[in-house]
Structure 1
Amino acid sequence: MRIDLVALVVDEYDPAIEFFTGVLGFELVEDTPALTNDGRPKRWVVVRPPGGGTGLLLARADGERQKAVVGDQAAGRVGFFQWVDDFDAAYERMVAAGVRFVSEPRDEPYGRVAVFLDIAGNRWDLLGEADG
């Protein structure tokens, strides 16, 4: 058993695809036209970390209730976690790409961590091996 996808509500598909692929380095694995339950057009957009793993279903907000959670899916908590092999390189690349970090990198018992915001404003932990 595994978790295959987690839905992430976004304002628009294309800027979200660009952020996750161009900035975070995810791979676009699917972008297929689809229909809502009531027949309106939408897209089925999936991005995944290189090499697989749990993917994100980038779901465009549909209606006021969904628009209200864009950027606040975890109610202000860190709700997403990205592990990288080279923390310092990933951090520097993301800073150069304009990613907004809300905490400086620090060492914790579980490794190196810094909190950043995705394109919508959701909080993520960037995680890697501890220095030393």
Structure 2
Amino acid sequence: MRISDFCFLFAGLAALTGMTLGIVMGISQDFALAPAHAHLNLLGWVTMAVYGLYHRGTGRTQGTLGWTQVLAGAVGAAVMSGGLGLYLASGNEAIVPLVVVGSLAAFAGMALFVVIVLVDLRRSTQGKEPQPSAS
């Protein structure tokens, strides 16, 4: 599977999950999980789709750095949003570390994305095309 395909698949699943959560909240008129819903849509749907567009646009299909970046983003989106939802539903303080770990993974994914963009910019200013499989 190509990096961009993984990103788009994850983004679509996150969007469906986020939309389902939104519909359930609307039907029940209980919006206590709105922050988890918003984070899932932003980190899972939007951010992962943007990652996929970038990787597809640069032609990066494989590579350790690219896979590490998108996996960190996906784990972060799932764990942070899921942990936040569990915390909001239960009020159990023991769940907070899960939210923190997910947040740090999402942050790491974005930091690695910035590194990838900078590496690609450096290569392009040196007259070299980005190396799709090397990053």
Structure of greater Rg = 2
Higher relative contact order (CA 8 A, sep 6+): 2
Instruction: Identify the structure with the greater strand proportion.
Output: 1
Same fold (TM over 0.5): no
